[in-house]
Amino acid sequence: MDRIFRGIMKYRRTNRVKMVEQFIQVKNRPEPKALFFTCMDSRMLPARFTDSNVGDMFIVRNAGNLVPHSRHFQDEYTSCEPAALELGCVHNDVRHVIVCGHSDCKAMNLLHLLRETEYSNIANRRMSPLRSWLCSHAMSSLEKYQQLEVAGFHAPLIFQAETPLRRISAYIDPDDKLSVTDKLSQVNTLQQIQNIASYDFLKKRLEAYDLHIHALWFDIYTGEIHYFSRQNKQFVEINEKNVNRLVEEVSKYYC
């Protein structure tokens, strides 16, 4: 807490005045352009690596950057993540939903271990909220990863995209540079696109191409951010050489 208090004092000396000016500018009319789902990992600082500012985007964080599929709820409005989708996409007309996974994800490490255990048993799941969360909402990601494993990591995985008629074909780490759990993390990030598209209250906007879902992946140990390119069918590093091409790809794909 001492560090937090000292940090607050530094904020008062350096950033408070500028931030209050920004609060006043957006006051009653904030117009966020994106809804950003990411992991609660303490190393993930999305506002910094996207250079976002006051009023730019909603951010939702949880263990494993999961967005539960609508089938898990009798009522689609009973969880934080669907509520955030409604708040952002229905009430605030956000047009871009972004899911951002990352390397060395502790939730994904645990998810991979769970396949060797009996934690999927209801009684055992109730012993751990984290294990229960992953068993309830991340098993589809693990199943997808196992498909990849059976295929020898060479065949593409298929995910449903914004509508039943659209599909995402994805090669995961084709150069075989990532660890097992980092591969799983990328699979999990793409699985959330399918989960987001399952909500009925988003259906009309998705079918009209008025709402778009993207996937990012952050490599903690290099600081590089990767975008899932549907054209390239894999996560590609965003850098000075390709950023304009990626912007052009996104513009063409979502027009």
pLDDT in tens, 60-94: 999 999 999 988 765 545 679 999 999 999 999 99
Angle value at C-alpha 27, between 26 and 30, nearest 5 degrees: 45
CA distances to 2, 166, 180, 229 from 185, in Å: 34, 22, 9, 16
Q: What is the pTM of this model?
A: 0.91
Domains of the chain in sequence order: 1-30 (no CATH), 33-254 (3.40.1050.10)
pLDDT of residue 78: 65
- What percentage of residues in the chain have a pLDDT greater than 90? 69
Q: Can you say whether residue 226 is alpha, beta or left, with left for phi > 0 and alpha for psi between -120 and 50 degrees?
A: beta
Q: How much is the average pLDDT of 109-118?
A: 82
Tell me whether residue 5 is exposed, middle or buried, using C-beta atoms within 10 angstroms of its C-beta: 0 to 12, 13 to 18, 19 or more.
exposed
Q: E strands of 46-186, at which residues? A: 57-62, 96-102, 157-160, 167-170
Q: What angle do CA 102, 103, 104 make, to 5 degrees?
A: 125
Q: 27 phi and psi, to 5 degrees? A: 10, -95
CA-angle at 140, arms to 38 and 216, nearest 5°: 30
- DSSP notation for 155-179: SPEEEE-SSTT-EEEE---TT--S-
| Whole-number pLDDT of residue 76 | 47
Averaged pLDDT, 170-180: 95
